[in-house]
Chain A
Amino acid sequence: MNVTKLAMAVALAVSGVSHAYLYIHGYQHIPTIGTAFVMQASVSFALALLILIGGPSWLQWAAAALAGGALGAFVLSRTVGLFGFSEQGWQPSPHAAMSVVAELTVVGLWAVSVIGHRLVGHRFGRPDTRYA
């Protein structure tokens, strides 16, 4: 098992658990945000599982897009608001911090994986295996 993929799956699962926990414990009642939370959690779990069992590399791109979107939504909710919803700082603690760290990890691992793959491919003239 590739360590990067394993770490990415674990980070996705952590982000999914945080969002699911918050959804179950109150966020389900917040218009639009509740739906977004349950979608974030369920897609995170699905991607984590498929990456773990050796799915194709576009799953990691999807994971990075999901994590990047969640980070963007986090920033909006702390600044201009998101669908009429806003929060302050690292509330609700510790889930806000947990999910931000997990999502940064996903994006970071994806970047390392993509850059590393391209560098190796470039150096050794390996064929493109994006669709393999």
Chain B
Amino acid sequence: MTDAPHAMNRRQLIRHGAWFGAAVGLAVVGGEVISHVAGTADAARIQGRPTLRFAQVSDSHIGFLGKANSNVASSFGQAIDRINNLGYTPDFVIHTGDLTHLATPGQFDQVKQMMTGLRTPHVFTVPGEHDSIDDGGQKYRSAFGAGTRGAGWYSFDIAGVHVIALVNTLNLKKLGHLGVDQLEFVAKDVAPLPSDTPIIVFSHIPLFAMYPDWGWGTDDAAQALSYLRRFSSVTCLNGHVHQLFSKTEGNVTFHSGTTTAYPLPPPGDGPAPKPVTLPAGKLHDALGIREVSYTRGHTTLALKDKALQ
């Protein structure tokens, strides 16, 4: 073996080992420095107190009975505890739909009662398709529709940020749908706003084509987004897909949130998005809540996803 033409002697091995060690050591030190700088930058942002801090929770599916999660009420309760223990009071909490699994009055009553336990001044919701199974969203609007317009859409301003809640789960064929009335609402709603107003849009079904074959998209979202093109910061938050996913298209960033009930498969993994039963002890890693903060002067929102674990 020692006669092989490319064999390395002991001295060469030690020398290369030293170079390798130096590479690993420098990479670790570099990583630490970058993380520290990032942490300092974040801390500086936080020290100036974000202009706005809120939490997102989604797809609680109260009333679901299945192997994928035998107690969705308990996991939703844990999500509420998680939000109540963020270390600050969020300015508001949004629930991005599928509050209930079968839209029964009892399920709406239960989820509404549970959400009164959220320690925040405001809770905002939009319906998921599970919340409007048999009545076009009537029961949902009876429970959560106070102060909304049309079929449950609305907008509000808080800390200089304009927030729009859209309903894209009514008149469903395959994809989500906003409809003419709601598109008109969006156009008129944003028309008087200056272009530097940060915009946050939340809906149940994604406003981007995440996986249209499974209905994970909204057929007329492009029209709504065209009204938002002139704004420098547009962030769209959604539920429905039960998993984290981010995408940027020009000035618009889309963030799908996870669920508090049960995971769904990644896009295209299998014939249909059926609840996934995870091995014992793994479920809570897939469930979670999201913290969102906005600091004036920044074009992007800071998101932090937290598992229920």
Contacts and interface: CB of A to CB of B under 8 A. Distances in A.
A112 interface: no
B68 interface: no
A24 B19 contact: no
Given A42-B28, A50-B26, A131 B246 contact: no
Given A31-B305, A88-B248, A131-B12, A50 B38 contact: no
B302 A130 contact: no
A38 B34 contact: yes
Interface in A30-63: 30-31, 38-39, 41-43, 45-47, 49-50, 55-56, 58-59, 62
Interface centre among A29, A42, A86 (most CB of B within 10 A): A29
A41 B27 CA distance: 8
Interface in A57-106: 58-59, 62, 81, 84-88, 91-92
A49 B26 contact: yes
A10 interface: no
Contacts of B250: 88, 91
Contact of A29 (B24, B33, B303): B303
A45 B30 contact: yes
B114 interface: no
A130 B8 CA distance: 10
A84 B244 contact: yes
A113 interface: no
A91 B245 contact: no
A125 interface: no
B41 A84 contact: no
B304 interface: yes
Interface string B239-272: 0000111111110000000000000001000000
B30 A24 contact: no
A91 B141 CA distance: 39
B104 interface: no
Interface residues of B, number: 38
B16 interface: yes
Contacts of B23: 43, 46-47, 50, 55, 59, 62
B19 A59 contact: yes
Contacts of B305: 31
Given A29-B304, A50-B22, A128-B6, A41 B244 contact: no
Nearest to A24: B38
A58 B22 CA distance: 13
A53 B41 CA distance: 31
A46 B26 contact: yes
A24 B41 contact: yes
Contact of A43 (B6, B19, B27, B248): B27
B68 to A, nearest CB: 20
Contact of A131 (B6, B22, B302, B304): B6
B27 A131 contact: no
B37 interface: yes
Q: Which 3 A-B pairs have the closest CB atoms?
A: A42-B30, A46-B26, A42-B31
Given A20-B37, A25-B41, A88-B250, 5 more contacts: A28-B42, A46-B23, A46-B24, A86-B248, A130-B6
13 contacts: A24-B34, A30-B246, A42-B29, A45-B30, A46-B26, A56-B15, A56-B16, A56-B19, A59-B19, A84-B243, A84-B266, A86-B246, A131-B16
